[in-house]
Structure 1
Amino acid sequence: MIDVADVLAGDARGLARALTVVERGGPEAEELLGALRGRLGGARTVGITGAPGVGKSTLAQALGIALIGAGARVAVLAVDPSSPFSGGALLGDRVRMPDFLERGGVVRSMATRGALGGLAVATSDALDVLDAAGFDWVLVETVGVGQDEVEIAGEVETVVLVMVAGLGDDVQAAKAGVMEIADVFAVNKADRPGAEGQIAAIEGALAMAPAASWRPPVIRTSATTGEGVAQLAAAIADHQRFLEGPGLREEARRRRARRRVERLVAALVRERIGGPERAAFALVLEEVGRGALDPYAAARRLVKGLCGEDG
């Protein structure tokens, strides 16, 4: 059993055990999260997302160091691809962000395990643990950006979309609607040719967007040299102050709560059809496969069966 007092005190071993418990899930995780529920709300959460190769990890480390330098306690949740064999994260907690760790930052790697959106199922739970442990900032670095990977906006308060010139991912991001979730744009690797053009393209797209109460700033950064990191931190702080407007933070919390419940329901359904309902699921799939039942009717039958039982 996890000692809640250790988590609340920010004890390193207790925190590591608590994060392992919530990543694993189950009754112990639910009990722990219930005990922490009244201690939440102090952490500010930031998503760092973008296509592979844009320098998300390096930028997250630089941003974390800047926040620590300002006196904050900072943790990073790094959502990694899963190993297809073990289900575990391919990258460990200690192989990334060494400079950030040396300054007292905390890094936790979590495996996606097939989750849509590049986010681990337990991301919300891990955010709660780190919040209760007294961290001022929690940065969530996602796997990448794609058609389904806009879920980060439902998990954090501020989304930083990292882009670089020359990858061709700006067009794909725009098509996927990913640009719409960004609260701050970071054009990283600013020494690359085409960086100014990339910035102009983003600002042009923003100028054509419908008027909104928050206009995302576009920050030129180089995580390796430190260029623009202070400006990025300031832009994030500006967005956090914006959220203090009437009802905005509450609306963000309701949005996260809804997404979290939806994710838990989906996880419970997967658990049931992969366990107690495996045989019934297989029979329905067989009917669909031979054309005796259409997929919509099959889905309705399965949902009716699941909802018709207690538990």
Structure 2
Amino acid sequence: MSQSPAEPRPKIETWTKEDVHQWLMAEVKVNRSCADLFVEEDVSGEVLFAHQKKDILDLGVKHGPAVKITSYLEKMKTGSQHESEFPAGVKNWTKEQVAEWLLQHGKVDGRKAERFKEEDVSGDCLVCFGKQDFLDLELKKGPAVKILKELDQLKNKPEPTPCRVLPISTAQNESLQKNLPPEKPPKQKKTPKEVEALTPQGKTKETAENPSVVIKTTLDKLGRNKLKSFKFHLRNYNKEGYNSVPQSKLEDKDTVDIATLLTAHYGCEDALQVTRDILKKINQRDLGSQLESTIGVKEIRASSTESEEETDESETPPRTNRKKRKKKKKKILSLFHKCQSTFTVLL
């Protein structure tokens, strides 16, 4: 595509993809990796002539160079030479200087300025931007109009002083930190004593109020077959002191329905224990352990299968402790009545 200044430029429709590559490098002055994308996608002159900005973006070209290429292409289609009205100093701004100028004069926030930097918007690209190009980068109409006005004023000013690019630790961090939400401190795992002190039952407030939410979240992690197995064991749950859930109530129920049904049938505390027991029966011990961790209750641990070892009295669930105390009380009362009867006979 090379020719002497006196020779007319060949029609763009006759260009090969190599000619397109040379035009992009020599005249538009994009970097090689950007120009190579046109060769890789077999963009000849005839194809390039039909391209719009959206088509150039679809090639993988970033927004800044895409706007610049589109501007040069539109000028060439009309037969005019691309001439910028901006001082050379503006066109020579780096993408970092553009981001800093947008922060100072465009009054955009840190995130928006960073977006322009990510899209390789250097000075020679910025001067090609129109209102829609700013809107395409998610700027609101107000800031877009203000930036265009500020850019227009640069045309009539003497060579502007290049924007001062501060180190990333100050310029970008300060602007970004002002607009980023504060980071949440990492959650720290509570010790057993802290867990027990949360509520009288050793549960967090959220769990105590929303056991069905905890159960539903846990069941959502089961696959379809495991959920089916969970329903099977739930309707056959025959632990002493508990009634199983009728099969009719479990038909065509999803995790939301099952969680609600469990808390309604067993009550909040026992529903969590039943869920944990069945999870271990269907070999979902990890989920069972996660459930314990979520509710923060050590006492919920009950032997759910016959193969589990019996725990000592200090680790026995509160329900089991109550049963033991009740049995012991009955024995004491029985002994007392026997002694009373014997004493009466002797008298």
Q: TM-score, normalised by structure 1?
A: 0.24
Which protein has the larger Cα radius of gyration, Structure 1 or Structure 2?
2
Q: Kindly indicate which of the two structures has a greater share of residues assigned to helix.
A: 2
- Structure number with the bigger relative contact order (C-alpha 8 A, sep ≥ 6) is 1
Q: Kindly indicate which of the two structures has a greater share of residues assigned to strand.
A: 1
